[in-house]
A and B are shown apart, each in its own frame.
Chain A
Amino acid sequence: MNIDTSQLFAIFGVESLLGLLGLVLIVTDLLVGKGRLTGPATAVRTLAFGGLVAIFAWSFVLEPGAEGALGTLDSFALFFKRFFLATAVATLGVAAPYEDRLSAGRAEFPTLLVFTTLGMCLLSSANDFVTLFVGLELVTVVLFLMAAYRPQLPRSIEAGIKFVVIGALSAAFMVYGIAFVYGTTGSFEFSQISAVINAQESLPAGLKFGLLMVLVGLGFKLGAVPFHIWIPDVYQGAPTPTTAFLSVGSKAVGVVLLMRLVYTVMGPAAAQWTTVLAGLAALTLLMGGLGAIPQTELKRFLGYSGISHAGFLLVALATHSEASAGAILFYVVTYLFANMAAFLVIVIVSRTDDDNHMDRINGLANRSPFLALVLTTSMLSLAGVPPFAGFFAKFMVLRAAVAEPALVWLVAFSLLMAVTSLYYYLCILKRIYMRDAVDTGFLEISGGARLLLLLCMLAVFAFGIYQQPLVQAAEAGASSLFR
C-alpha cells in the first residue's frame, strides 16, 4: 500500500479541521474554564457550535474527486460528511438545554462530540478496511463515554456498561471477519477486494465467512435484528443528547459502511446476499414494529422506532439498485430532522428531574401548543404519513424495492409493518391531545431550542411537499457508488 501524502488533506480536509477544532476546544477549556469541572461551558459550547457550522459551510465548497490509498472523497462521502456535521450541530442544540442537568464535564461534552464526528466523517470516506476499523472504533469508544456520561445515575452507568460489552464484542467479530477477508483476497483495499470477488463465479468459503462477520459487526451499529439488543437499554439509559446523536449518527454509520460494502465492494456479487439482507430486514421490521407497542418510556419507545427504521433501510439495501441507494440517502436525512425534533421535545418535557416517562407528554397540546405541533409533525413523519418527508422516504424505498420481483413479499410485509407502527405513533398523539396533563410544571423553551425545533419542523414539511432538491442531492450522492 502506497500512501500519497500530498493527497491526504484533499481527502481528509474535513477530518483535519475537526481534529484541530477538538484540540482547540480542549485548550480553550483549560484557559477559560475556572472551576471548570462544575462550571458552565458557554465558551467551549459556542466555539464548538461556531466551528462545526463553519466546517459544515466549508464542506459545500469542496469538490468531490480526490482519491487515495486510505480514503476517497467522492460525492457519496461528501454527502455523508455534510450529514454528520449537520447531526453534530443539531446535537449541540439538543444538548444546550440539557447542560444544567450535568453535574460535571459540561465542557467535555462538545469536545467528545467533535471527536466522534471526526470518526464518522472518516468512515464516510473509507475505501480501505484499515480506515474503516480505526474510524469505527473512534466513533464507538467515544460514544461509550457519552452514554455513561452521568455516572451518578445508575441507568447511565448501566447503559454504558451494556454498550461497552456489546460494542467491543461487535468490534471483535468485525476484526475476525476482516482477517478472513484479508486472508482470502490478499488486500485491505475495497477496490482490490471487489476485483477478487467479481473475478470468480462463487466465493470461497473463507471470504463468505469473513464478509458475514463484517456484516454482523455492522448490524450491531445499524441496530438490525438479531443484533439490536443493546438499542432500547442504551437509548433509555444514556443522557438524552447522547441518545439523539446515537440514534441518528450510529445508524448512519452502519448505513454508510453497509452501502460501501454492498454496492461497491461486493458489486454485482451482492445479488447472492439479497436473501440474507431481506431476511434481516423482515426480522428487524417485525421486532421494531411489535417491540414499540408496550413501551411507556419515551426514549425506549424511540429506540424501537429506530429499529423499525433500520428495517426499512435494510429493505433498500437488499434491493441493490441505484434508485434504492438514493432512497437510503433521502431516508436518513428525513430521519435526522424528525428524530432531532423529537429528542429536543423530550429534553424539554422531561424538565430538570429528567423523567422520560410517557406521562410527561400527556396534555401537551394545552401546555405548549408549539411543542405539541412539533412532536406531532415529527411522529407523523416517522410513521410515514403523507404529506410529511417520512412518507416520501418510505415511498422511495418501496418503489425501488417493488421493481425487483424477488422482493415483492418484503414490500408487502414492510407495508403491513408500516401500518402496525402507525398504531403506536398515534398512541403518542392521543397522549398529546386527548389526555389530561400529569405534569403541570413550566416548560422552558430557550430561543435556540425554539429555532432548532422550527427548523426541523419546516424541513419535515418542506421535504414532504417539495422533495426535488433533496432527491437530486441524494441521487447525486449515491451515483458515485456505482461508477
Chain B
Amino acid sequence: MPRTLFEKIWDAHVVHRRDDGLCLLYVDRHYFHEGSFHAFNMLRARGLKVRRPDLSFGFGDHYAPTRARDTAAIADPEIRGIIQTFESNARAAGIRAFELADAQQGIVHVAGPELGLTLPGMTVVCGDSHTSSHGALGALAFGIGASEVAHVFATQTIWQSMPRQIRVTFDGALPQGASAKDMALALIAEIGTGGALGGAIEFAGAAVRALSVEGRLTLCNMAIEAGARTGMVAPDAVTQAWLAGRPFATPVDIAGLRSDDDAAFAAEVRLDAGRIGPMATWGTSPEEAVPLSARVPKPEEAPDEARRRAWRRSLEYMGLQGGERLADVKVDRVFLGSCTNARLEDLRAAASVLKGRRIAVPMLVSPGSSGVKRAAEAEGLDRIFTEAGASWEESACSLCVSMNGDSVGEGERCASTSNRNFVGRQGRGARTHLVSPASAAAAAVTGRLVSAESV
C-alpha cells in the first residue's frame, strides 16, 4: 500500500491500535513552556511522575520579559511567579529546561529546531498550537491541550485518530519580494481558516523545495491557521545540511521519509507561487488577507451572508471602512518577532529594508531565540535596527500574544510578523495586520502598509 509521509511516521509510532482506529502513539519529543503548570498540577493531583524526563524539554518564552533576563527582577508578581513555577516544576521532574537566563533560551518553535532537538521522522508534541512548525523538518508534530500534556508526561504517549491527508502544492517560483509568510497568507486567504480543519497538510512543490528550513518553519507554523492539526515538508538535502552540527542533532536516515508516488490524499490544493506577492491581513481572522497592493474589501463583496456579517464586524474592530487602499492605511507601531518570523533569515530580510533608513513609527524587534540574537549581532544586524531607530530586545513571545507585559494599546494599529490577528490578541482593542518581515520593515519606514519594493 502506498503511504504518505505522515502515515509512515504514524505507523512507526503506533504502540496500540483500538478497533475503532484510535491509536496510542509514542512521543519522541515533548516540549513545554510556562503554561505547563496546569499539567504539572494534574500530575501532582494523581500522584504521578514524569515517566521519561529525558524526552521532554522546557522553554521559557510566553512570559519571558522582552527587556530583561533576570527572573527575580520581574516587577509583576504573577508573571514572576509563573516563570518561577515553570523553572521549579522542570527541575523537580529532572527535565532540562532552557530558563530565562540560559544562552539556549528561545521561543520553543524556534529554539527547539535550532538546537537540533526536532529531527526528521520524529513525533513531536507541545501544549501549544504552533507545534505544527516542527513539521518543517519532516516530523509529525502537533499541538495538544493541558490534559494531553499531563498524559504525555505520565505515559510518553498520546491518543490520536488519523487525520485526513491534504497535500498543498506550490508550483513555480516565488517572485522576488515574496516570502514563506506570503505563501501561508495566500493559502489561508484561498482555503479559509477551516480549509484544512482537522487535517494534516503536506507542503510540496517546487516553491516549497526552494525554501530554506527557516521558510519551511514559517509555512508549517501557519498550517494551524488554516485549521490543520499539522503541516509538514518531506526532509531533503536542505534539511540535512541545516541540521548538521546542531548541538542535540543525531544523524537520521531520511531515505524513506517521503510520500510514495501514488499515495492517496483526501484533498489536493494547488497554488501558483509565481502569482504570490507580499500579503497583509485587513481583518481579525488570518483568512482575511489580500495582497498589499490591493484594497481592503467591502462587506458587499463578501461571498455569502455569514461572511458579510463577519467582515462588517472585522472592519468595525479594525477601524476600517472597506474599499481603502492598504497603502493608505497608517500604522502606529511595528512588531518583528514570534515563532513565525523571527529567525535569522527573517531578521536579515527586515534589516535589508531598514539599512540606511529611519523608521517613522516605533518598531520592536524580538529575536526568535537567544541564539538567533547572538547570530544577528555577530553579523551586525542589531546595529542596522538600532541605527534605524528600532528597539532591539531579548527573545520572547512578546507582542505575538501579549502575556509578558508588552501590549499594543487600545485602538492602536500594529503591523506584525506574528501569526494571529485575532480580536485582542496583541492587547485589548489592539488592531493587528499580519505581514512578512520585509513588509513589516517597510511599514516601519513609511508608517503605512506597503511592500518593501515601494519603499
* A and B assemble together: no
